[in-house]
Amino acid sequence: MDTIKSEFLTSAEVIKLLRISKSTLHRWIEVGKLKTYRTGKRLKFKYKDVSEMIEEYSYNQSTVEEERISHIKSMKGKYAYTGVSTGDFIKRKLDDIEMEERK
């Protein structure tokens, strides 16, 4: 593969890698969250920029998840006599939070 070609990604490749919609990609471009480069009429994205975005997103997701679990574990003391193991309690609470966020 040519190094110039492998250094840049198309919109379709970025959408697939980041698992986002086309409208989200356009919004991120508008607000400057993702830098674009023009090759003729086409927009291209540097692989390095996209991989940094993936790392940032995965770091933020794991941090959020850790904070949720920590908060839920602190709640477990209040509900110590529920007859549910800590693992089951955490799973149930995470499911509750997900359902609330979907609303």
The two three-digit tokens of residue 76, written as one number: 């477990």
Structure-model confidence comparison of residues 45 and 84, the more confident one: 45
CB 54 within 8 A of CB 22: no
| H-only helix segments in the chain | 3-7, 11-18, 22-31, 47-76, 86-102
List pLDDT tens digits, range 70-100.
776 666 555 555 566 667 777 777 888 777 7
First and final CA of the chain: distance in angstroms?
45
Q: Determine the average pLDDT of the residues in 26-41.
A: 89
Mean pLDDT of the 51-73 span: 72
Average pLDDT over the chain reads: 77
Quote the pTM value: 0.52
